[in-house]
Structures are given as C-alpha cells and as structure tokens.
Chain A
Amino acid sequence: MIRRPGRWAVGGLGLLCALGCGPESTGGPTTVTVSGSVLGAEGQILRRQLERFDREHAEIRVEMRPTPDAADLRHQLYVQWLNARATDPDILQVDAIWTPEFAAAGWILPVDRYASDTADFFPVTIDANRWQGRLFAMPWFVDVGMLYWRTDLFSEAPRTWDALDREVRGAIADGTPRYGLVWQGARYEGLVTVFVEYLGGFGGRILDGGRVTVAEEPGVRALTLMRDQIHRIGVVPGRVLTWHEEEPRFAFQNGEAAMMRNWPYAAGPMQDTAESKVAGRFAVAPMPAGPGGHPTAAFGGAQLAINAFSPEAEAAWLVIDYLTRPEQMLERAQLVGQFPTRTASYDDPALAHALEIPPAQAREIIEAAVPRPVTPVYTQLSEILQIQLHRALSRQAEPRDALARAAAEMQELLDRVGLGRGDVAAD
C-alpha cells in the first residue's frame, strides 16, 4: 500500500535528477539532497519546509531522496550507500542507535564545529548522538515510549507495576475490554525498546561501558515480569509476541485494550473521532516502575547527519540548521504530532495547541528517557538480545538463562571488536 507510491517517487525523482542535475552542477545553485521519510504527511511537511528554505537561499536547491520507512531497510540501504562512498544523499535522517555506528565507520561528519550551542536541546537527545566526545547528528524530533491509559476505566495512571497489574486485572475481569496492557512484542527492535523501559523500571542497564550488565538481577526481574504478565498474571495478551507498533494501536483505538505502551505518534490518529473509539477517553503517563528503579522511556526519534563523502557539507549544514529551528519543529508537532527536541519549545503556548498531549507531560516523559546503548555495534547487540528476549517471552527458556546467553554472546562480540570491558568506554 505504501510501497508503490514510494517506488514511483523514487523513479520520478531519479528521472527528474537525470534531466535536471547534470547541467546545474556547473554554475547555478548547489544541490543538496535529503533522505528520509518522504511519505504521507511527514513527506508533505518536509517538502513544504524545504521549499521555504529554497526561497530563503537562492544559492542552494534541496531535493528529497526517498528511502524506505521501515527502519531496518533504511539502515541497510544507508550502509550499502556509505560503504560505496556515495556522495549523495548529503543529509541522512538517522535513528539515534545508528549514529555511533556511522560515526565510528567515518561515514558521517562531526557537527560540533557548526552546532556551537546545544544547551537548548534535551540532554538525552545530545548524548545519544555523541561518539567519543563529539556530536555527529542533530536531534530532529523525539520519540519516547509512553503509557496510554483509558480515562473512562481508571481514575489515574499506575505508578508501579504492581499497581498496574492489579488495576488492569480488575478492569478486564468481565471480558471488556478484551486485553489489558498491549505492547510491541515481535522479535524486532521495538521489543528491545519495551524491554529497556521495564529494565529502567527496575534500575538496570544493558551495558555499563564495555561491560554487558543486562543479565544482572534487575534485568532478570524485568524480563520475568514481562513473561509473567503474559503467562501468569494475564494482563498482557500472548499475541503481542507477533505485534509491531500498529497492532497495539489498532487494539487500543478500537477500545479493545485497557492500556497500551506506544510512541507519541499514536495519539494523533486516536484522537480522530472518525476512526477512533477512544477519542477523548485516554491520557498518557510515564511507564510504571518496579522496586529499585524509576519510570523510564526508551529514547528514539530522528536525527539529521551529514554524509562524510558529501562535497556540500557547508550547504548541508544550512539545511539541517533550518530544519531543526524551533518554528519548523513546532510545525512538525502541529502536523504530525512529533515531539520537538528543544526544551524551550515546551514553554511555547503554541505547542499546547499543536500536541494531543499536554506539553508538560511530554516533557516529563522525555526527561525520563534513556538512550539505548551508545555503541557502534548496537544493531548486532540488539539482534542477540531480541532473540533471547523473545525466547524467554515465548517460554522456550527461563528469563535468567536467556539473558545469561544473550550477555555471553554480546560480551563476546564487544570483546572481539575491541569495545569490551577493558577497552574504550562505550559511553
């Protein structure tokens, strides 16, 4: 459904470029290319902002390069491009977890020489984009995991997992709604983000420098709780183990779930009375915590980075600087509900109109956000973890054993590539 127009767009842009790029490389304006999400509302708003930029800068022309919206596919494509030292696209929309990888590979340029002042950004958004002390990408919008809860079923959001289990069990006792808490539990990156939130709730971390700490007590407790919520306590349906982010949203939006863990984007469509049965009947809160931890949100979202092989780094920076200005972020918040990465935006009354979620609350959740391990081998580590988390949740292994196996494999990988225990601290 989404892919077809995407492919046409690729073809169309390619053709336009073939016809238009050639002669302009001599004289004429400099062309800068931006790759990222160009579909739907996100694409429209980016196009609009880039057109405005073009009008302000006669010497630069910006073009969009469509890339797949699925994170794995986009990552794969970038890695192939950058391995081939492609000079185009100049600007890459990257997930936070890719920044250290691309930075360590020498594929993206440090941007701290341009971005002299980052004090206005949430610290977590800057920390996640640093590698060996240097900043490699500019935070564009923030994604954080949040607890959506039904205001017609509960009087307030649970602060602890015990309270959540108790209240949700009460709410679904008579069979309506059908599900208690729903989240993305398929074997993919999304599962790791949910785990990171449970883990933080028990005070644990995946990595401590170059040492894998995921199999320590907090990790075991967090994973055991996730499994028990499915198989013993019964507040999470087993089918979440094949769900990505959209299935939980559909369930919650159709009034079939009492609570949901999801990203900010879900709020927009769910407030739309035309398709949502819970419009005006839900609120968000930070994820609950267990003993020894605090409410935690997994930090995600998009960053903008400059291709290290780009011949137009200066012009690319101007585009990035423009796109990450407060006004542009506010517009993104208005049109696609994406959270700004600048703290000052949250004091702007316009943001309260723009978001479906009170800005103060959004801010509270972002401030409780933790990045996933900042290491160049994150995607490899994550794959190991995904498999073992999924094995434990589908009861093929005990949480303790699954995590021990994951930790052993992760540590072996880190040691092999020289990022382990005694080596360079990873963050």
Chain B
Amino acid sequence: MPPTEPRGAEAREARLAWWMTGPAVLTILLVALFPLGWTIWESLHLHDLRMPWLGRPFVGLDNYVEVLQDRRFWDSMAHTVWFAVVSVSLELVVGCALALAMNRTFRGRTLVRLSILIPWAIPTVVAALVWRFMFEGLEGWLAHDLKAWVPIILADAWKETPFVALLLLAGLQGIDPSLYEAARIDGASSWRQFRHVTLPLLAPAIMVALIFRTMNAFRVFDLIYVLTGGGPGTATEPISLYTFNSLMQNLRFGYGSTLSVLVFLVTFGLALGYIRLLGRGLTETRA
C-alpha cells in the first residue's frame, strides 16, 4: 500500500473488508454459535414436552445438579471413556502394523491399499447390522454386559483401522529413507530403527490419527444404537446415546440439552488438549 494514500481510503478498505467477510462471519455465527447458545439457554430450563402442564420455567443450574447426581449419566460417561480408550488403542496398534506392511514394496501394493479401505467405506449402520447378525447367532453374547462390548469394539476397529493405517502410511512415506540407511550403517536393529527413527518421525501423524479417532469414538452413536441399543440394561450405553434418548425419545428438552452441553464441553476440552499437544509435538520434531 503506498504511504501517500489518504487515511480515508484505508478506513474505506477496512469497511469493505468487513462487508465482504460479513456474510461468512454471520453464517458461522448462525450455524455454529446460535445452536450452541440456544442449547445452553435450553439447558437452564425445565422443559419436558410430555408434561406441558409444567410449562417451561427457568430453573438455573438445576438440570446440571440433577445430571451430576444421575447414575446413568456417570455410567454412560464411563462407558464412553472405556470404549474410546480400548477401541482407539486397538486401532492405533493394528493400524500402525498395517501401515508398516503397506509401506514395503511388493506386488499388488496398490490393490492392497485400495482394498483395505473397503470397511471404512461401508456406512456405519450397515456395518453394525452385519456385526449384529453375526453375534446374534452366539447365544447370549449381546445380552451379556461384558461380552456385548466385544462386537462393538471389534466392529469399530474393523471399520476404523483402515483410516488410521492410511494416515500413518502417509506419515511413513514422508520419512527420508536415508535415515534408515544411516541407522543400518550404525548397526541399529529393526526394533531400534522403529523405536528411534520411525516412531519419533511418525509422531505427528499418530497425533492426527489419535485426535480424529478419539473425538469420533467419544461421540460414538450409530454403531452402538444399532448393535446393542445400549443394552443389556444400559451396560453399553455411551453418553451420546443417553443424550439422544433423553432428548429425542423422552423429549426432555431441558435435561437433554444439559447432557449435550456437557458432551460439548468434554469434546471441546479434548480437542484443546490435543491441539496443544500436537503443537508441542510438531515443534519438538522440528527442533
């Protein structure tokens, strides 16, 4: 910008910029913040569609107090964490092994890389139905509080591991082969090469996979909805299913909104934590 330009033009330009970005900002506000704000506002009310005679009084934090004393809420939180930890660990380990295998040169590599994506491309509901039919044949598995987790975690791993594998494969391909050469010359075993060359350089990719998978695992819904419906009892009910149940089936808008806000806070916190970790991880690898 030439320094001779009068100040008025600069202000005009700034105004123009606001006009031009305005629609985008407004859209974001409308699409992202308005529903969030509405949900928070709703969570401060007693609002049960099935009991209209109670009205829709403002109750402050009553719903939050009730949630914190609700056993089903804590159970479903515990189920969610357990599901996320087990399924994501499994997916990372198996995905890493698959990525290492696919990173080698062999005949038909492209075909293998493509075919590995098939489970990932199948809609979750369809996959869940297939797994349900398989396990319905096993007497009592879906009606057992611990065994019912087996098809859930297997189905999730089956479906999501390819995604992790491909992400890690991309990371592997970015590693300079000369590093392995140097390691070999120095007499490093394959395990040491993996531990000290592959793993540190793969860390950013692992981090990205971890973020995506944990966030998604935390919001798991359709898979469990179809496979066990959260049962037996509520033994496999994750928080998103409980929220759906309160909100859409029981039509307890106030209480369900409270659950939604809490789910949002937890996932948001997770995301923030990961972003900070990822930022640090990236700077460390660069240094």
Which A residues are within 8 Å of any B CB, using their own CB? 72, 76, 79-80, 83, 101, 104-107, 186-187, 237-239, 241-242, 376-377, 379-380, 383, 387-388, 390-391, 393-394, 396-397, 417
Contact = CB atoms under 8 A, between A and B. Distances in A.
Contact of A396 (B49, B51, B140, B232): B232
B50 A101 contact: yes
B193 interface: no
B233 A394 contact: yes
Given A187-B231, A237-B139, A394-B235, A80 B49 contact: yes
A173 B230 CA distance: 34
Most buried by A among B143, B230, B234, B249: B143
A28 B251 CA distance: 39
A241 B144 CA distance: 10
B145 interface: yes
Given A79-B251, A237-B139, A379-B250, A390 B232 contact: yes
Given A238-B143, A239-B140, A79 B235 contact: no
Contacts of B49: 79-80, 83
B136 interface: yes
Interface string B22-50: 00000000000000000000000000011
22 contacts: A72-B249, A76-B249, A79-B50, A79-B251, A101-B50, A106-B52, A237-B139, A238-B143, A242-B142, A242-B143, A242-B231, A380-B50, A387-B233, A391-B232, A393-B232, A394-B143, A394-B144, A394-B232, A396-B145, A396-B232, A396-B235, A397-B233
A388 B52 contact: no
A239 to B, nearest CB: 6
A417 B51 contact: yes
B216 to A, nearest CB: 26
B50 to A, nearest CB: 6
B53 interface: yes
Contacts of B50: 79, 101, 105, 376-377, 379-380
A237 B138 CA distance: 12
Interface string B235-266: 10000000000001111000000000000000
A379 B250 CA distance: 8
Contacts of A393: 143, 232
Nearest to A397: B233
A76 B251 CA distance: 8
Most buried by B among A72, A79, A80, A242: A242
A79 B50 CA distance: 7
Contacts of A380: 50, 250
Contacts of B250: 379-380, 383
B134 interface: no
Q: Which 5 A-B pairs have the closest CB atoms?
A: A391-B233, A394-B232, A241-B143, A238-B140, A390-B233
**Main DSSP-derived SS at the A contact region:** helix
Contact of B231 (A101, A186, A237, A417): A186
Contact of B145 (A79, A242, A394): A394
Interface string B137-178: 001101111000000000000000000000000000000000
Nearest to B253: A83
B54 interface: yes
A425 B144 CA distance: 39
A55 B142 CA distance: 53
B51 A377 contact: yes
Interface in B107-151: 136, 139-140, 142-145
Nearest to B251: A79
Size bracket, chain B contacts? 20 to 34
Interface string B180-204: 0000000000000000000000000
A85 B144 CA distance: 43
A376 B51 CA distance: 8
Most buried by A among B232, B249, B251: B232
Contacts of B235: 391, 394, 396
Given A76-B251, A105-B51, A376-B51, 8 more contacts: A72-B249, A187-B230, A238-B139, A241-B142, A377-B50, A380-B50, A390-B232, A394-B233
A77 to B, nearest CB: 11
B52 A83 contact: yes
A186 B232 CA distance: 8
B229 A105 contact: no
Contacts of B231: 186-187, 241-242, 390, 394
Interface in B61-75: none
Contacts of A379: 50, 250
Contacts of B136: 239, 242
B235 to A, nearest CB: 6
Nearest to A389: B233
B254 to A, nearest CB: 14
Interface string B203-235: 000000000000000000000000001111111
Contacts of A72: 249
Contacts of A237: 139
Contacts of A376: 50-51
Contacts of A101: 50
Given A242-B142, A387-B234, A396-B145, A186 B248 contact: no
A104 B53 CA distance: 8
A242 B250 CA distance: 21
A231 B49 CA distance: 40
Nearest to B231: A187
Contacts of A397: 233
B231 to A, nearest CB: 5
B53 to A, nearest CB: 7
A241 B141 CA distance: 10
A401 to B, nearest CB: 12
B173 to A, nearest CB: 44
B70 to A, nearest CB: 10
Nearest to B248: A76
A187 B143 CA distance: 10
Contact of B232 (A83, A105, A107, A187): A187
A87 B39 CA distance: 28
A105 B51 CA distance: 6
B52 A396 contact: no
